[in-house]
Copies of this chain bind each other. A is one copy, B any other.
Amino acid sequence: MADMAPATPNNEARRVQMLRAAAELICERGFGETRIADVAKRAEASSALVIYYFGTRERLLVDALRYSEQNFYDAAEQMLATVPSARERLSLLVRWTCVPENDGDVPGAWGLWFDLWAQAFRHPEVKQDRVELDGRWRTMIVDVVKAGQADGDIGKVDARAFALTFAALLDGLSIQVALEDPEVDRDAAYRIAMDFATRELGLAPARRKRTRAAAGAATA
């Protein structure tokens, strides 16, 4: 496996190019079916170069997974900042996980999560990452709740406890949606999640009858 080239500001562009390509491929074909040659082709490089940068296939794919996860949460955090009301922010969170509006930046699609989990289950390095990222995710939820409470939109509840439950619920719903469960499609998932939050947080109910998921997609 030799020594892979260290990450420098110069090669970072290439690196990212490869990580993205890898993430895409993993998403399409799955972790186990993603070949170095494919990644190389999509990143417009040679197989040898890919190894030159990542040293090993495993590292490449695992790094790609972690990279995607990172971006997914980073983007979510950024998005959140642009939305004012508690309900809208909750709505954004829910849509972010259950209604994949392709952000163009990262293929935050579902195949990635499944493979990420499968990898994390064994690879302690990935497991560690995931735990930290998930912590951040929960913190985001907590912050939304607390902000909502400060504004008087949300009643008195244990924000942390809510976050734990809500995060788990979102994960579970996203699975159903990703696996095309006939009873739990995007809309249903959105509704279930928002109903839960509404009930649990003592949130003012949705203003209009716009329970359809796509409602108010664009916030700008």
Contact = CB atoms under 8 A, between A and B. Distances in A.
Interface string A168-189: 1111110110111111100011
B114 A118 contact: yes
Contact of A172 (B32, B168, B179): B168
Interface residues of A, number: 44
Contacts of A117: 114, 117, 175, 178-179
A6 to B, nearest CB: 29
A131 interface: yes
A216 interface: no
Contact of A164 (B30, B170, B178, B192): B192
A176 B196 CA distance: 20
B171 A175 contact: yes
Interface in A170-220: 170-173, 175-176, 178-184, 188-189, 192, 196
B164 A183 contact: yes
Contacts of A119: 30
29 contacts: A30-B119, A110-B121, A114-B121, A115-B118, A117-B117, A117-B178, A117-B179, A118-B118, A120-B179, A121-B178, A121-B179, A127-B179, A127-B180, A131-B181, A131-B182, A134-B176, A135-B183, A138-B183, A164-B183, A165-B169, A167-B172, A168-B172, A168-B184, A168-B192, A169-B169, A170-B172, A171-B171, A171-B176, A172-B173
